[in-house]
Amino acid sequence: MIQLKGIRKSFGKLEVLKGIDLSVNKGDVVAVLGPSGSGKTTLLRCINFLERADGGEIIIGDTCVSCKKTSKKDILAIRKKTAMVFQSYNLFHNKTALENVMEGLVIVRSMRKQDAMEIGKQLLIKVGLEDKLDAYPSQLSGGQRQRVGIARALALNPEVILFDEPTSALDPELVGEVLAVMKKVAQEGITMIVVTHEMSFAYNVANKVILMDEGVVVEEGAPSELFHNPKEERTKRFLTGRVPDWSYSI
């Protein structure tokens, strides 16, 4: 469904991604773990061309793009198949929650406003914000803003949603409400690639976990295998002190 082949990215002399290969099947929830600076966010940004990779191929469904020979048409084709949820929300501050969800449908998909409004309302209800349709971002908590971001991503009906540390900017008491919505999205069979530090989410919700460090995939596997029986010494060191309380559930 999604394949990354040899994705490379440098910023000046700093090589951030060193030939990443990754396969994601339809309906997979892939948790991407790793220390700061390992290339996790850059990888997500390269998938939907917020950053242009220096080399490699990106395949999503029937669309195959060579990162070295990318046209505007190629980029648009990939972006139509992806949606991104950012750690800093990236909402329009002068638009209501409903208008933020509608924006992509009206501007990008050229949908009638009335139709976009109905979809937006249903998705905000789905993420538990039925009483916040007309609220502006400044009137919402961080968790509520992130749930608007998730609804906005769902509205585009993408083939994959990319989550860039969606809970890292939240106060601890708000993390659970966002993770609960993400778990609900995952249970609906939507393909997700999630850069996260939330180990319990990775263990309880993801069906594949990958550990990145220094621009490479160190290890990947099912959560039970990677957490309980890691093969690589680097994985063992990373997990030391980070193994969650498995009795915690989302």
What integer pLDDT is reported at residue 1 of this predicted model? 82
> Distance between CA atoms of 25 and 187, rounded to whole angstroms?
15
User: To 10 degrees, what angle do helices 113-126 and 142-155 make?
Assistant: 130
- Region 146-155: mean pLDDT is 97
Residue 219 bridge partners (DSSP) = 211
Question: Looking at residues 74-91, what average pLDDT do you find?
Answer: 94
User: Using 50, 70 and 90 to split pLDDT, how confident is the model at 244?
Assistant: low
How many Å apart are CA 96 and CA 152, to the nearest integer? 12
pLDDT tens track for 6-60: 999 999 999 999 999 999 999 999 999 999 999 999 999 999 999 999 999 999 9
Q: Strand order of the sheet with strand 160-164? A: 82-85, 160-164, 192-195, 29-33, 208-213, 216-221
Residue identified by tokens 């919402």 is: 140
- pLDDT for 112-149, tens place per residue? 999 999 999 999 999 999 999 999 999 999 999 999 99
With cut-offs at 50, 70 and 90, classify the pLDDT of residue 214: very high
- Asked if the model's pLDDT at residue 248 lies above 60, the reply is no
Average pLDDT, integer, range 218-235: 95
Higher pLDDT, 173 or 249: 173
Quote the pTM value.
0.93
Q: How many CB atoms lie within 10 A of CB 90?
A: 13
Question: Is pLDDT above 60 for 70?
Answer: yes
* Per-position DSSP letters for 3-27, written without gaps between them: EEEEEEEEETTEEEEEEEEEEE-TT
Residue-averaged pLDDT of the chain = 94
| Mean pLDDT of the region 214-232 | 96
